[in-house]
Structure 1
Amino acid sequence: MLFSLMQLIGGVILSLGWLPQIIQILKTKSVADLNLKSYLLMLLGIGLMETYAVNLVLTGVGLAFFITNTMSLTVVSAVVILILRFQPRLRK
């Protein structure tokens, strides 16, 4: 139980850590210094872990991991969407 609580608290902190980046993007409407490839790799990794988390939940364990991983998947997805939305367009 203690480790599940630690997982939940740690995962929430890690997920909330992305909020300043999202707020900064929304305020400045700039993603000039962000690397889309890095965020796509993070999204892929979290997506693979999400599959594992779903498997854990279906076997009756890992609910805290599933919750926090889903939160991370959501916020990193939001960053990727914002990068795609605000990235400078190449002009010919």
Structure 2
Amino acid sequence: MLFALMQLLGGIILSVGWIPQIMQIIRTKSVADLSLNAYLLMLLGIGLMEAYALRLAADGTGLAFLITNTLSLAVVSIVVLLILRYRLPRSPKK
């Protein structure tokens, strides 16, 4: 039980750690210094871990891992979407 709580708390802290990056992107609308490839690799890795977390949860173990991994998947997905949004060339206004 203690280790599940530690995993849950650690995973939440890691996931919440992305929020300042998200807020910075939204505030500045700048993603020039962010590597889309790096974030896509993180997204792929977290996605693979999500499949594993789902399997563990289906077996009755690893619910804390599923919760925190899903949270990480969500926040990294937001960063990727923001990078794509702010890197796309905008059409000139007429």
Normalising by the smaller structure, the TM-score range is: over 0.9
CA RMSD of aligned residues (A): 1.1
Please tell me whether the aligned partners of residues 32 and 88 of structure 1 are also in contact (alpha carbons under 8 angstroms).
no
Runs of 4+ in structure 1 deviating by more than 6 angstroms, as ranges, are none
TM-score normalised by length of structure 2: 0.93
Whether 1:38 and 2:38 are equivalent positions in the alignment is yes
**1:11 corresponds to 2:16:** no
**Inter-partner Cα distance in structure 2 for 1:88 and 1:36:** 12
Q: Structure 1: 5+ residue runs without aligned partners?
A: none
Identity across matched positions, percent: 69
Using the size of structure 1 for normalisation, the TM-score is 0.95
Q: CA deviation at 1:88?
A: 5.2
Which residue type is aligned with residue 79 of structure 1? V
Residue by residue over 1:1-59, the C-alpha shift from the partner in whole angstroms, topping out at 9 and shown as x without a partner, is: 00000000000000000000000000000000000000000000000000000000000
Tell me the matched-pair count: 90
For 1:69 and 1:87, the matched residues in 2 are separated by 27
